[in-house]
Structure 1
Amino acid sequence: MGYCSPAMSSAPRPAVSVVAPCYNEQDALPEFLRRVGAVLDGIGGTSEMVLVDDGSRDRTWDVLAEAAGRDSRIVAVRLMRNHGHQLALTAGLSVCRGERILIIDADLQDPPELLPDMMALVDQGADVVYGQRRQREGESLFKRATAAAFYRLIARLTDVQIPPDAGDFRLVTRRVLDLLLAMPERHRFIRGMVAWIGGRQVPLIYDRHARVAGESKYPIAKMVRFAADAITSFSVVPLMASMTIGWIMAALGFGFFIYSIVGWWGGHTLPGWTSLMAAVGLLGGMQFLMLGIIGAYLGRLYDQSKGRPLFMIRDIVGGRNGGAE
């Protein structure tokens, strides 16, 4: 799945790559480039920034292309259309060449200034250093509450230990990245996939800031889809729940049957329509719910079976080898 031009493949690898997906981030990018550039200057050595325009409708691509022309460390990648955050991030990870890779968003909610601390932990033997949020500034109570509930729910549903309160902000080694890119999933939950790889994964506690500019790209509908992708990617508990619910409903049905027999034997007239319609409605609702859950898993299998590329790259501009592709 990796993408690499002939010029890129023959060049020595930079020590670190910074990979950021960008969607309508024209206002945030100048400050992002300044701060990330300053951090890379401070740590020294060879480095690159791989910034992916995920089908933005504003001037994001123009800003990226201009920045790539000024700074040879910047590689600007433009996708053919909007693929979503996780696939845009996957595109950037497939292009980057660094021995260590920092995954970060362009909104600067996660501070790039933590990179030296992350590098030090990798020097001490960590395979992955993930940022774990202590506070989340600039987010509503609803978003904080739903995020906390999501992490606790997925911890109960999966066997993989996915760190709570940790997003995609992390530093990974090339070995971990190569394993991640070898995974063919279309519906990607990258923080869970990295956790599944294992190795020595170390948290770095930090306070998450408010967006430097623009607005959140994760409205409620996208958050729900993202949570569904995460759960169906790492758990079959929803499928197994149908068996549990089936046993419960069978037990309730058997109980009502015994109750009816006892009432008939005692000569009592049992009211029928209300209890009958309630039972039919409950059973019908549970059946449709279970069919919906099964459909979600089957839909993922159908998407995966088509074998289409995860993303389509339109342009790559910049890098130490220059030029556009």
Structure 2
Amino acid sequence: MMDGTLSGISVVVPVYNEERSLSILVEKLIAVLRELPNRFEILLVNDGSQDGSLALLRSLSRANREVKVVDFRRNYGQTAALMAGIDHATNDIVVMIDADLQNDPADIPRLLAKLEEGYDVVSGWRRERKDSELKRNWVSRIANRFISRVSGVKLHDYGCTLKVYRRSVVSGIRLYGEMHRFIPIYAEWQGARITELPVTHHARQFGASNYGMERIFKVVLDLLVVMFLRRYFAKPIYLFGGFGLISIIAAFATIALSILLRLFAHISLIQTPLPLLAALLFLVGVISILLGLVAEMLVRTYYESQGARAYLVRELINFQADPGSTVQEDI
């Protein structure tokens, strides 16, 4: 809803081997949320935990009617867990928070208050992180600056799970790999108003982080996918066709150079690799253009088979509504 008022709140918590922190987290969440005037639910998504997390989740759900559990058949990763939480959320506001107690539930009311100012996304910023300075903090700062520069969405902390969204800007998003950190970018595509707020960050109390340095490479590759989808999803021929035309032009330039060398430097065509390079460039160019045409057909198939449109409407003003339809679309 865009009228500045909040209704129900769905808190989404991905859980993977967090047996020792769950009871504390749920207790803190319930204490904070019951102080708010909004109805709420807590969606705990068990991402194939191998400890006693599932048994504890069952117990917590029996003791508290607001606690709901989504249990995966196996470990699918944090992105899939957050997506499942969004898919099963029933309220208008979605709050995401980690299960390891490093995010503080006491920050949720501040984020919600900021959302009421007219924003669609309020992202937590762990300005004072309690992690390893070299292994986590330094790498994270570099990654966040890189993502902000490439995406154009200026946030200090993409990796902070503690974020608040209006469900209308995330309900249609499909995420894969490590793309959960890019949800604000997807929301910005839909015209979402985004801001961030410093939040408390605690040192990890139990266990160890499930992330390794290989995550950096996954994030970079996922960012490439995100930027491709942002710029070329609707018109992939611009990318593939553009590259193909450049390659074909380079092929003609290469063969022209080889002819000039033959005429003025008396270098035979069989004495230089330029003709072979020209043929290769021409072939690559033709294949790229054909790929672009195939991609164009796939995009059209997607839109037409899904009944999807290449645009999103925030609001219709002064339109006569058909019976059973709504005048305002909050997308």
Distance 1:93 1:248, change over 3 A: closer
Q: Secondary structure at the match of 2:106?
A: helix
CA offset digits 1:252-290 (Å, max 9, x no partner): 333333322222222522573555566677777888999
Please provide the CA RMSD for this pair.
4.3
**Does the aligned pair in 1 maintain the 2:11–2:42 contact within 8 Å?**
yes
Identity of aligned residues (%): 24
1:223 has 2:222 as partner: no
**One-letter amino acid of the structure 2 residue matched with residue 36 of structure 1:** L
Task: Name the stretch that deviates more: 291-300 or 30-39.
Answer: 291-300
Matching of residues 145-184 of structure 1 within 5 Å: 145-155=142-152, 161=153, 163=155, 165-167=157-159, 168-172=161-165, 176-178=166-168, 180-181=170-171, 183=172
Distance 1:300 1:261, change over 3 A: closer
* Whole-angstrom distance in 1 between the partners of 2:109 and 2:11: 13
Distance 1:228 1:216, change over 3 A: farther
Task: Name the stretch that deviates more: 101-110 or 59-68.
Answer: 101-110
Matching of residues 138-287 of structure 1 within 5 Å: 138=132, 139=136, 141-155=138-152, 161=153, 163=155, 165-167=157-159, 168-172=161-165, 176-178=166-168, 180-181=170-171, 183=172, 185=174, 187=176, 190-206=183-199, 211-212=204-205, 213-217=207-211, 219-220=214-215, 222-223=218-219, 226-236=222-232, 240-270=238-268, 272-275=271-274
**One-letter amino acid of the structure 1 residue matched with residue 238 of structure 2:** M
| Structure 2: runs of 5 or more not aligned | 1-5, 307-331
CA offset digits 1:26-71 (Å, max 9, x no partner): 3443443344344335546643311111222332212211222333
> With structure 2 as the length reference, what TM-score do the two structures score?
0.65
Report the equivalent of 1:91: 84
Q: Secondary structure at the match of 1:235?
A: helix
Distance 1:259 1:92, change over 3 A: closer
* Whole-angstrom distance in 2 between the partners of 1:280 and 1:195: 43
How far residue 104 of structure 1 moved from its aligned partner, in angstroms, is 1.7
Number of positions where the alignment pairs a residue of Structure 1 with one of Structure 2: 286
**Does the aligned pair in 1 maintain the 2:125–2:199 contact within 8 Å?**
yes
Distance 1:225 1:290, change over 3 A: farther
**One-letter amino acid of the structure 1 residue matched with residue 251 of structure 2:** G
* Whole-angstrom distance in 1 between the partners of 2:90 and 2:13: 14
**Does the aligned pair in 1 maintain the 2:247–2:285 contact within 8 Å?**
no
**Does the aligned pair in 2 maintain the 1:109–1:209 contact within 8 Å?**
yes
* Whole-angstrom distance in 2 between the partners of 1:126 and 1:257: 57
**Does the aligned pair in 2 maintain the 1:162–1:195 contact within 8 Å?**
no
Report the equivalent of 1:128: 121
Distance 1:128 1:286, change over 3 A: same
1:111 has 2:113 as partner: no
**One-letter amino acid of the structure 1 residue matched with residue 209 of structure 2:** E
Task: Name the stretch that deviates more: 38-47 or 247-256.
Answer: 38-47
> With structure 1 as the length reference, what TM-score do the two structures score?
0.66
* Whole-angstrom distance in 2 between the partners of 1:151 and 1:145: 10
**One-letter amino acid of the structure 2 residue matched with residue 272 of structure 1:** Q
**One-letter amino acid of the structure 2 residue matched with residue 131 of structure 1:** G
